[in-house]
Amino acid sequence: MKNERNASIRHRIFNVVFLVGMFMSFSSSLMNYLLGLGTAVVLITFICGVITVGLYIIFKITGNYNLVSLIVVIMLSFVFFPTMWLANGGTYGSIPYYMLVNAGIIVLLLVGSPRKIISFLFALVIGFLLVIEFQRPELIAGYDSGLIRYIDLSFGFFVCMFSLVVLIAALTDSYMGELRKSEQYLAALEEKNKEIEAKNRMLEKSNAELIEAKEKAEKLNQLLYEEKQKLQKLSITDYLTGAFNKRFITACLEEEIEASRNKQTKLTVAMIDIDNFKNINDTYGHLYGDYVVERVARTIINNLRQTDVLGRYGGDEFLIIMRNTSREEGYVMLERIRQKILELEWENDLVVTISGGVIEVGSDELTGLLNKADRLLYKAKNKSKNLIEKEVGG
């Protein structure tokens, strides 16, 4: 069982009420004996004290103070005090004082509906006793002398006053104790809340740092991805013209040849280069020669379809792959490109032209196809330059 310090406020008040009850019973019994108020009055108060002690012992054993409280209140309200009213002077004696204390005991020990019911019934009992005393005063036992009545009243008054002081003090002390505990609990709770808030701030800071680190990591990953894309593009792209490099365009052509055969689609290839490019380099310098190559490549790219692929095959030589395109269609496209390049304006009235060879893929393998396209290119150069030569027949 919990000790007194750990008991609930109601438990502590219960203990005080029983101690007050024992004190009131035994002290009244002793005083009644000294005043010679009769054996019945002395025995009734003494027996009440013994019963109170017995009930308190039962409470200590069982811990069920709800039932014990109800038994005590019923015994006092409806047996002990009504009997003492009749045996000890009624309103002329000290019993009314004790009844006031009993009303406080009812309020302190009981809760809820039992408190309301017992209080109401106790008030009816008091009213009934007052009516009996008024109607049948001879039923009320009186005092042998005024001095005995005065001593009994004085003693009862001080006992009841002392009991009320003890009960109120116990209630107040218990309330203040609970209030101090509540304040301590609130202070501890506030301290815990401060710790939680501090931890939350740390978590928020950590989360912010994690979010920032995550964002930095994402940005870094994006940069790495972009750099990877750039490196991948650089690995297959000619740095000057932006067209694919020789290694990639050759590999691409080999894949396209196999795909066109598997799907039985047409595939046309063109090999072109810039006419008299060595003279341009010798006359205007290599930097200007690079500019000519870059501008020619850009013009070709701008006049190709999205499905066409351009690669720089050599210094001024380009390879064009045209998917789903016949030899005649490829020739028309190359003629248009040749005309666009011819129309370009250059410094010092320079005229830049291209020559090329167009061939539709047949049964030739990669090397044979490239050789045929190269021969068509040089055939165009040998004729007149600024010319696109196409394979005849096939």
Chain position carrying tokens 């008091």: 126
Give 16's pLDDT tier (boundaries 50, 70, 90): low
What does the alpha-carbon distance between residue 312 and residue 185 come to, in Å, rounded to a whole number?
83
The answer to whether residue 223 is domain-embedded is: no
pLDDT for position 278: 93
* Structural domain count, the chain: 2
Residue 375 pLDDT > 70, yes or no?
yes
Q: Select from 171, 172, 170, 164 the least CA-distant residue to 23.
A: 164
Q: Which residues contact 300 (CB under 8 A, 6 or more apart)?
A: 243, 272, 310, 318, 320, 337, 341
The domain in which residue 171 lies consists of 4-189
* Statement to judge: residues 265 and 139 lie in one domain: no
Find the helix or strand (DSSP H, E) in which 332 lies: helix 327-342
* Statement to judge: residues 250 and 183 lie in one domain: no
Q: Which residues contact 285 (CB under 8 A, 6 or more apart)?
A: none
- Per DSSP, which regions of the chain are E strands? 267-274, 309-312, 317-323, 354-360, 388-390
The answer to whether residue 207 is domain-embedded is: no
Q: At what angle do helices 9-35 and 65-75 cross, to 10 degrees?
A: 30
DSSP β-ladder status, 354-360 and 309-312:
unpaired
Mean of per-residue pLDDT scores for the chain:
84
Q: What is the pLDDT of residues 343-357, one digit of tens each?
A: 999 988 899 999 999
Task: Find the angle CA(306)-CA(311)-CA(314) to the nearest 5 degrees.
Answer: 160
* Statement to judge: residues 159 and 10 lie in one domain: yes
242 three-class SS: coil
The answer to whether residue 231 is domain-embedded is: no
Residue 45 pLDDT > 80, yes or no?
no
* Statement to judge: residues 184 and 251 lie in one domain: no
Per DSSP, the chain holds a count of helices (H) and strands (E) of 12, 5
Residue 362 pLDDT > 70, yes or no?
yes
Of 78 and 360, more confident: 360
Of 87 and 327, more confident: 327
* Statement to judge: residues 15 and 154 lie in one domain: yes
Give 226's pLDDT tier (boundaries 50, 70, 90): confident
Residue 393 pLDDT > 70, yes or no?
no
* Statement to judge: residues 16 and 146 lie in one domain: yes
Give Cα separations from 71 to 51, 55, 58, 78 (angstroms): 10, 8, 12, 11
Q: How far apart are the first and last CA of the chain?
A: 112
pLDDT for position 14: 66
The answer to whether residue 199 is domain-embedded is: no
Average pLDDT of 316-339? 95
The answer to whether residue 215 is domain-embedded is: no
389 three-class SS: strand
Residue 4 pLDDT > 50, yes or no?
no
Q: What is the pLDDT of residues 117-162, one digit of tens each?
A: 989 998 999 999 899 888 988 888 776 777 877 877 787 787 778 7
Q: At what angle do helices 112-135 and 95-109 cross, to 10 degrees?
A: 170
The answer to whether residue 68 is domain-embedded is: yes
CATH number at residue 384: 3.30.70.270
Chain position carrying tokens 């811990």: 63
* Statement to judge: residues 251 and 160 lie in one domain: no
What does the alpha-carbon distance between residue 72 and residue 112 come to, in Å, rounded to a whole number?
17
Q: Which two tokens stand for residue 68?
A: 């014990």
